[in-house]
Chain A
Amino acid sequence: MLSRVADSIYWMNRYVERAENVARFVEVNLNLLLDTSVAGMTEQWEPLVTTTGDRDRFKARYGDASAHNVLKFLTFDSEYSNSILSCVKSARENARAVRETISSEMWEQVNSFYLWVKEAANTEISAEQLYSFYPEVKTASHLFAGVMEATMAHNEGWNFGRLGRLLERADKTARILDVKYYILLPSVRDVGTPLDELQWIALLKSASAYEMYRKRQRRVTPEGITKFLILDPEFPRSIQFCLLQAERSLHQITGTTIGSWCNSSERTLGRLRSELEYMTLDEVFDMGLHEFLDKLQTRLNTVGEHIYEDFMAVPLAS
């Protein structure tokens, strides 16, 4: 398939997934807020901005990390390229460039998704409405993934799309865990308190992981949750699951068997996946959770760069 088309399908999926995950970040914080007043804890919005990696841009444009500013920045800021509005817009732009390759249903879904977010951005949304807005962003993203699963041939383009979505999700699950790390930092003394448990549950819920976690681990502990979200091979938002499935798609594209590699994308992704497979939780904590997640994100970026070089930037023969 055309390199440009592969690139667009890959990014269309990454952007939809990214929008969904921004909604997840925000939602976990909004839900926490509902309980913090009871527990006498102050609102914390700054960690959200920090985990996006775009803290400086936020500071320059907004200054104070108030709820209003942070929500606006992450949700409807058309000049911030990772806001929900911008992500959905980019997803749609990419979809528009490959409409002939994807199914009409996929296009219609991403187009209505965009028109809906755009309308929400143009009307003043009340704080109450925000509580239903973010879950709807998640639903729209799920719809898109489902429509793609059910209406597009599971061909090369589909695999590129899946690759994009899973790499994005792995990165964002890492960041969601990181948010918790930042929120915990100033209040180490809260560890083990009821509030702490509430926070961990909220975190699980933001990754739609609460129920699945309960079935697997029962008791809510930081170790259990970290293990679940990083190393569980079956839960679809765990980092390890994402890497396993992304690797499958990558090998479907090239036709190489898993366990061997024919280009840098396969080599870097395969290495990362197998390292996680043989990693213990102790090793993660020895390294420090934040440092571990940070490194992981860097390596995911490297995989993305190799995918671009191996498939999208085809050099001219002449």
Chain B
Amino acid sequence: MACLDTYDPGDFYDELFQAKGTPRPAAAELVRRIQSLPLKELQRRQEAAQKMLFKLGVTFNVYSDNQGTERIFPFDVIPRFVPYSEWEWLEKGLKQRIEALNCFIHDIYNDQKIIKDQVIAREAIETAPGYLRPCMGLQPPKGIWCHITGTDLVKDQDGRWYVLEDNLRCPSGVSYVLENRRVMKSSFPGFFDALDIQPVDDYASQLLEALLNLAPSNLSDPCVVVLSPGIYNSAYFEHSFLAQQMGTELVEGRDLVVTDGYLQMRTTKGLRRVDVIYRRIDDDFLDPQAFRADSMLGVSGLMEVYRKGRVAIANAPGTGVADDKMIYAYVPEMIRYYLGEEQILPNVPTYLCEDPKQREYVLAHLDELVVKATNASGGYGMLMGPHATAAERAVFAEKIQADPRNYIAQPTLKLSRVPTLIDGQFEGCHVDLRPFILYGRDVYVNPGGLTRVALRRGSLVVNSSQGGGSKDTWVVKEGTC
């Protein structure tokens, strides 16, 4: 018997247990099934699953690591459980958020009504590093800017969901969702038989549709490509995986060239026109003529072709402005302004250090708050107040005062936990959730998403670059479980 009986959820919201020995009613059947397996057997399946991922080459590259550079994202076989009723609500909230964000991006690069109506200050937008002047006046096909989004959600101690951050530039992680599911299916086929787990496998088809939606309608066989920085990029596996699943070419900047006013790729039979790019490189690197002149990854002249509507780019250049953590704080107002609705999914309460009053509060409460650089991601540039030393807090206080626009602060959330197999026993580990949202003809949300789990004891940081792992996320219809 797997010893979940003695598992103690502690002072946290646990996704499977409401108290020691008492599973949440919705998850009771899942817990019973896990319980029915001996711990040794679970461990064996865990090891087999990890081996399978390694063999499949589901790896990520570590920038700072000179050794061979490929690692698998550690994987835990105990699934993250989301009841379907909760999921329906999340889905609605995510769709609302993406629609509002898309309106916002289109607005600020065109009419700038939201600035004129004084909902957001011009300065707040123009100081965001993701805001790109060369994108002014762009009219992407069908008015869609953020085709692919990964929104990070967390659950606090009270069991309420919050949006932690938006990732609109080129969010990664969806390949793990698909491969984790594949591994779980072969590790626990019985569970899938018994529970009504929402399938995730149509993601690649949905993505391809969203991309084809952008091609000019007069083309019978538009050429869609995935643009990757190449095999040394940390997410290279995912780029190649998605290209393979969609049956499109995977290209690098050096395969592309702008000639005769079109974007073309070098093939064994000469040049061929490209109609839609799913780009997995940052805005800054897309086109050395328009952005960073030293970029080796992009294509010279691409933005000019894009501006003329001769190639579509997903996500559109410029969407990164919405990844800024200060802009994030305004999303509730955007929803009100563009959609005339109240937000469904709440933000984490956020203090803007730029505002003198809020800054004062932040500086006085550094030992309680999490401070984040507004333009950083991947768990970098953060101060976890309660865990930091006085010296570390002093350093951050100075940083905040030197450049207040660059920082926000949020209360330290007690992220929810899920039992996780570590060294042969169950430990409660903190998790977050990144669902993937596609904006094609309609807005589609892949059921579930990537659950990242902090594998270091007590750690709240779930990023793969900081010792995090992942779990399969099961959205389960009630009544079956």
Number of A-B residue pairs having CB atoms within 8 Å of each other in the complex: 74
Q: Which of B201-236 contact A (CB under 8 A)?
A: 226, 230-231, 236
Say which residue of B240, B257, B259, B270 sits within 8 Å of A100 (CB atoms). Answer: B240
Binds A, one of B27-35, B242-250, B443-451: B242-250
A2 to B271, CA, bound (A): 9
Looking across the interface, which residue of chain B has its beta carbon closest to that of A316?
A: B257
Cβ-closest chain B residue relative to A94: B231
Q: Indicate which residue in A5, A107, A156, A314 contacts B271 across the interface (CB closer than 8 Å).
A: A314
Q: How far is the CA of A279 from the CA of B307 in the complex (A)?
A: 62
Contact with A along B249-280 (1 / 0, CB 8 A): 11110110111100011111011000000000
- CA of A1 to CA of B249, assembled, Å: 8
Task: Out of B54, B57, B266, name the residue touching A4 (CB < 8 Å).
Answer: B266
Query: Are the CB atoms of A4 and B55 closer together than 8 Å?
Result: no
Q: At the interface, yes or no: A239 with Cβ under 8 Å from chain B?
A: no
Across the interface, which residues of A come within 8 angstroms of B252, CB to CB? 4
Interface residues of A in 1-44 (CB under 8 A from B): 1-6
Interface: A77 (CB within 8 A): no
A239 to B291, CA, bound (A): 53
Distance from A300 Cβ to chain B, minimum over Cβ atoms (Å): 21
Instruction: With CB as the reference atom, state the residue of chain B lying closest to A118.
Output: B68
Q: Is A318 an interface residue (CB 8 A)?
A: yes
List chain A residues, Cβ under 8 A from B395. none
Q: Compute how far the CA of A98 lies from the CA of B250 in the bound complex, rounded to whole angstroms.
A: 8
CB neighbours (8 Å) of A197 from chain B are none
CB <8 Å contact, A2 and B266: yes
Instruction: Decide if B391 is an interface residue (CB 8 Å cutoff).
Output: no
Apart from A2-B251, A318-B260, what 11 extra A-B contacts exist at CB < 8 Å?
A: A1-B268, A2-B265, A4-B252, A4-B254, A5-B249, A96-B231, A96-B240, A100-B240, A100-B241, A111-B57, A314-B267
Question: Contacts A4-B254, A111-B55; is A314 near B241 (CB within 8 Å)?
Answer: no
CA distance A3 to B226 in the complex (A): 16
Select from chain B the residue with minimum beta-carbon distance to A111: B57
Residues of B within 8 A of A196 (CB): none
CB atoms of B268 and A6 under 8 A apart: yes
For residues 59 through 109 of chain B, which have their beta carbon under 8 Å from a beta carbon of chain A? none
The answer to whether B255 touches A96 (Cβ under 8 A) is no
Contact between chains at B231 and A2 (CB < 8 Å): no
Residues of A within 8 A of B257 (CB): 316-318
Asked if B402 lies at the interface with its beta carbon under 8 angstroms from chain A, I say no
- Is there contact, CB below 8 Å, between B266 and A99? no
Min CB gap B325→A, angstroms: 34
CB of A144 to closest CB in B, whole Å = 15
17 A-B interface contacts by CB (under 8 A): A2-B249, A3-B255, A96-B57, A97-B230, A97-B231, A99-B244, A100-B241, A100-B243, A101-B244, A104-B244, A111-B55, A111-B57, A112-B55, A311-B268, A312-B268, A316-B257, A318-B257
Which one of A3, A96, A100 contacts B268 once the chains associate, using CB atoms below 8 Å? A3
Residue of A nearest to B266 (CB): A314
Whether A108 contacts B56 in the complex (CB less than 8 A), given A100-B250, A156-B268, A317-B260, comes out as yes
Chain B: interface residue total (CB-CB under 8 A):
30
Q: Taking beta carbons and an 8 Å cutoff, which residues of B are in contact with A?
A: 54-57, 226, 230-231, 236, 240-241, 243-244, 248-252, 254-255, 257-260, 264-268, 270-271
Complex Cα spacing A104 to B243, Å:
13
- Which of A1, A108, A115, A314 counts the most B-chain CB atoms under 10 A from its CB? A314
A266-B176 Cα distance, complex, nearest whole Å: 44
A121 an interface residue at 8 Å Cβ cutoff? Answer: no
Which B residues touch A108, using CB under 8 A?
55-57
Min CB gap A147→B, angstroms: 14
Q: Is the CB of B268 within 8 A of A316?
A: no
The reply to whether the CB of A46 lies closer than 8 angstroms to some CB of chain B is: no
Q: Contacts A2-B249, A2-B251, A2-B255 known; A107 to B266 CB distance under 8 Å?
A: no
Q: A257-296 vs B: 1/0 string, CB under 8 Å? A: 0000000000000000000000000000000000000000
Complex Cα–Cα for A243 and B162 (A) = 65
CB of A253 closer than 8 Å to a CB of B: yes
Which residues 233-263 in A have Cβ within 8 Å of B in the complex?
Answer: 253
Cβ-based interface call for A93 (8 A)? yes
User: What are the residues of chain B within 8 A of A317 when measuring CB–CB?
Assistant: 257, 259-260, 264, 271
**3 smallest beta-carbon distances between A and B, as pairs:** A100-B244, A100-B243, A314-B266
Q: Which residues of B contact A253 (CB under 8 A)?
A: 268
Q: Which residues of A contact B255 (CB under 8 A)?
A: 2-4
Complex Cα spacing A317 to B264, Å: 10
Q: Is the CB of B56 within 8 A of A1?
A: no
Complex formed: what's the CA distance from A311 to B252 in Å?
17
In the complex, chain B residues whose CB is within 8 Å of the CB of A93: 231
Alpha-carbon separation in the docked complex, A311 to B270 (Å): 8
| Chain A contacts for B57, CB-based, 8 A | 96, 99, 107-108, 111
B421 to chain A, nearest CB (A): 24
Asked whether B240 lies within 8 Å of A99 as measured between CB atoms, the reply is: yes
A4 and B255 CA atoms in complex are apart in Å by: 7
Inter-chain contacts of B260 with A (CB < 8 A): 317-318
